[in-house]
Amino acid sequence: MTTLLALTNISTAYDQVNVLHGVSLDAKEGEITCILGANGAGKSTLIRSILGLTPPNQGQIEFAGASLIGLPTHKIISHGISCIPEGRKVFPKMTIDENLRVGGYQVSSEAVLRRRLAEVYETFPRLKERISQLAGTLSGGEQSMLSIGRGLMSKPKMLILDEPSLGLSPLLVQEEFRIIGDINRSGVTILLVEQNARQTLAISNYGYVLSQGRLEASGSAQELSENPQVQAAYFG
Ligand SMILES: Nc1ncnc2c1ncn2[C@@H]1O[C@H](COP(=O)(O)OP(=O)(O)O)[C@@H](O)[C@H]1O
Ligand SMILES: [Mg+2]
């Protein structure tokens, strides 16, 4: 498998205090790579580093062979990266259809846009039933689907999800993870950041464990599930 995203020795700081300390990781094309870590471990900061929102002060980031270091965020995402931020954040006063169109803002052809909308509605039939409903009136689970659908509108090579299971009921988490698996099988490489280790490892190919800004374990999903350290920290 080809490496799609490669981080080498990344350090990132807020107010000159490093919260990531020399992190290196790879996400292989076509796979689901997960990053597990407790609250405050630096997971969102890692995503902010990749997206250039909080640029690293050290290290290399390459996507599909091209360096992302020093690029502004809009250039970085134009390489084919889409991110579903923590807490989802749909536009509450816009309809489902309008929210999705925001995700496809860089598509200039209405025909292409319509085709992408149709694909998203095929993945999320429940959104199609509520096409003209204001996003703010949707349930948490529906808003979550909408935010993922919006992220797919740009046809990304890689979808980055920041704790998508946060705040969802166990049943919805299960559905959400099934959908993430489906999206991956449709050809999208996934970087999945989570605290929910068990369900995350169940759909991932490879994973990393982040603790206090450092990687403390990595391996295939199978290896990580059997790792005593991971079991103690995450499986109770
Ligand atoms: N904007 C910020 N300014 C200063 N410190 C921050 C900021 N965002 C996060 N931090 C700190 O960086 C560390 C990592 O946070 P974060 O990346 O959000 O972790 P996670 O996503 O794993 O919960 C924490 O100690 C947090 O308090
Ligand atoms: Mg976070």
Q: What pLDDT is stored for residue 104 in this prediction?
A: 93
pLDDT band for position 128 (cuts 50, 70, 90): very high
Query: Cα(77)–Cα(50) distance, rounded to whole angstroms?
Result: 10
CATH ID of 1-80+158-236, from 3.30.465.10, 3.40.50.300, 1.10.10.1110, 3.10.620.30: 3.40.50.300
Q: How far apart are CA 37 and CA 125, in angstroms?
A: 32
Please state, in angstroms and rounded to a whole number, the distance separating the CA atoms of residues 201 and 208.
Answer: 10
pTM of the model: 0.95
Atom 10 of ligand 1: nearest residue by CA position: 14
Binned at pLDDT 50, 70 and 90, residue 236 comes out as: low
Average confidence (pLDDT) over 128-140: 94
For residues 229 and 28, the model is more confident at 28
**Nearest ligand to the CA atom of 46:** 1
**Does residue 106 have a pLDDT over 90?**
no
Q: Which residue do the tokens 């920041």 mark?
A: 162
Look up residue 123 and give its two tokens: 């993945």
Q: State both tokens at 205.
A: 């190919």
Checking if the pLDDT of 78 tops 80, the result is yes
Residue 136 gets which letter from DSSP? G
Q: Cα of 41 to ligand 1 centre, how many Å?
A: 8
Q: pLDDT confidence of 229, banded at 50, 70, 90?
A: confident
Q: What is the mean pLDDT of residues 177-192?
A: 96
Residue ranges per domain, the chain? 1-80+158-236, 87-155
User: In the 8-state DSSP scheme, what is residue 27?
Assistant: E
Q: What is the mean pLDDT of residues 60-79?
A: 97
Chain position carrying tokens 């319509």: 114
Ligand 1-lining residues (CB < 6 angstroms): 14, 19, 37, 39-45
Query: How many of the other CB atoms lie within 10 Å of CB of 228?
Result: 7
> What ligand 1 atom has the least distance to the C-alpha of 213?
14
- Which of 53, 132, 76 is closest to 100 using CA atoms? 132
Q: Hey, what are 10's tokens?
A: 């990344």
